[in-house]
Chain A
């Protein structure tokens, strides 16, 4: 099968950009990725764009900015996994032999759309009764802490860790280290979750240039990182109530990716996971099989998930520290994994990793576990 490589990455700093739009941010990220790859932009023969709220033909509005025209441009929406799905679609097009060099971008200008807590899908009954996204995860947190006999302070340490990592990441929204006391004293959003346990409303864009193995060898792409798997699954409709402290959707997506890559969770050196809320990080890494169910917060307490720990989780700062512009998030995770695998992550560099995982999931509707989940495995 055709191998796919990430040969260039770029992203804007995540934050709030009242004077810029998503397309401008997308252009900045795309140009940075093209420059990082060192390729002639005319070599790009396809482009995929992921976003949630940016309207019609968002991708063409970006390519129009940066002198790329005429090539096939595809826009994808898959809630918080939109950027990751754009990368997956780009990789599938390369594997199918349709394209050799593809630009995959995630972009979002969320601050112009929302001020605070996001609701589940429009028209969904859970949104109509007053359930918010923080509310969904707060309820999972309460059940998780109760079932496993853990405390809110143990959970809040996830935010402390991720914000410390973000302070070392130039493209993170937040650069302020916070104490456990500050997290626990931040205002409640949905109990037990406080403000500093919720990912912020953010704007930003991230881009990746993907290339077929043959083309990468031809062009001598020395810093290429292999995209060994890019898997996508949707949640199953529940025919009976199930545990909300474990994620069958994450597990199924991860198993699909591990099989394609020919590895197991024990081979993973580090992971970027979808920590939209503090509790989410525990649910993700346990779903990925990186930690046993109910043990992750204890591991965080022992420092095992720190950048210098046994299995670093979210070295970029994650969504909690780096920010969460929905459509951009999945692409930004891949940007971080590539930078870590190349050894270009500066002061937050993990000690010589060779296998990194990026996990994204999003979407919530009544009676469905989740809408879209992606797991990508990159190998140096």
Chain B
């Protein structure tokens, strides 16, 4: 079973897309979205104005790190910077926002729509060879332990 021993080294590593990830005081990384203080809608990526109620004071908040798999694919042809094949899914996080990301530590044959997943924030080599922070999803059981 893989574990993220890299957590201690996440602080100070820039996110792969500006403003989308941050490292909390506990040293763990989170996706960062926008939350409307008026109607409680969540957005990812964060936006300036809530499209539901037009409130302009959206807060930047860490998103919930657990969710369920809405749908997925195995990508066999991609842009040069991605090694194929890889699994990619849309995950509905528990704070009611949908995020696309790659899936790891899971076999294609064991994927099921609705399965529980956890966000894993980790360092990766960026386009210029420097370390960047990015994220993938993994089966909830693999990090949370069997219930």
B45 pairs with A132, CB closer than 8 A: no
A367 pairs with B77, CB closer than 8 A: no
B74 pairs with A241, CB closer than 8 A: no
The one of B16, B45, B72, B77 in contact with A142, judged by C-beta atoms closer than 8 angstroms, is B72
A142 pairs with B92, CB closer than 8 A: no
A residues within 8 A CB of B42? 239-240
A135 pairs with B45, CB closer than 8 A: no
Stretch from B1-9, B22-30, B82-90 that touches the partner:
B82-90
A residues within 8 A CB of B13? none
Q: Is A19 an interface residue (CB 8 A)?
A: no
Interface residues on B, range: 35 or more
The 8 A CB mask of A319-332 against B (1 = contact, 0 = none) is 00000000000000
A129 pairs with B88, CB closer than 8 A: yes
A237 pairs with B43, CB closer than 8 A: yes
Identify which of A119, A131, A140 gathers the most chain B CB atoms within 10 Å of its CB.
A131
Stretch from A51-59, A60-68, A182-190, A289-297 that touches the partner:
A182-190
Q: Is A366 an interface residue (CB 8 A)?
A: yes
Q: Is A259 an interface residue (CB 8 A)?
A: no
A residues within 8 A CB of B134? 128-129
The one of A123, A134, A140, A240 in contact with B71, judged by C-beta atoms closer than 8 angstroms, is A140
In the assembled complex, the Cα of A188 lies from the Cα of B78 at a distance in Å of: 12
Residues of chain A at interface, number, CB under 8 A: 36
CB distance from B87 to the nearest CB of A (A): 9
B77 pairs with A132, CB closer than 8 A: yes
Closest-by-CB residue of B relative to A198 is: B77
* Total A-B contacts with CB atoms under 8 angstroms apart: 111
In the assembled complex, the Cα of A126 lies from the Cα of B101 at a distance in Å of: 7
Chain B 43-86 interface residues, beta-carbon cutoff 8 Å to A: 43-45, 47, 50-52, 70-79, 82, 86
B76 pairs with A241, CB closer than 8 A: no
Known A-B contacts A126-B100, A236-B51, A240-B96; A367 and B45 likewise in contact (beta carbons under 8 Å): yes
Q: Is A71 an interface residue (CB 8 A)?
A: no
Q: Is B11 an interface residue (CB 8 A)?
A: no
B residues within 8 A CB of A180? none
A residues within 8 A CB of B16? 128
CB distance from B53 to the nearest CB of A (A): 9
Q: Is B113 an interface residue (CB 8 A)?
A: yes
A residues within 8 A CB of B36? 239
B77 pairs with A131, CB closer than 8 A: no
Closest-by-CB residue of A relative to B98 is: A241
In the assembled complex, the Cα of A134 lies from the Cα of B126 at a distance in Å of: 24
A residues within 8 A CB of B20? 125
A189 pairs with B52, CB closer than 8 A: no
Known A-B contacts A125-B45, A128-B17, A244-B71; A189 and B97 likewise in contact (beta carbons under 8 Å): no
For this complex, 24 residue pairs linking A to B, each with C-beta atoms less than 8 Å apart, are: A116-B77, A116-B78, A130-B79, A132-B78, A134-B75, A135-B73, A135-B88, A138-B75, A142-B71, A142-B73, A143-B113, A146-B113, A191-B76, A192-B73, A236-B51, A238-B51, A239-B41, A239-B52, A240-B41, A241-B70, A241-B92, A241-B98, A244-B70, A244-B71
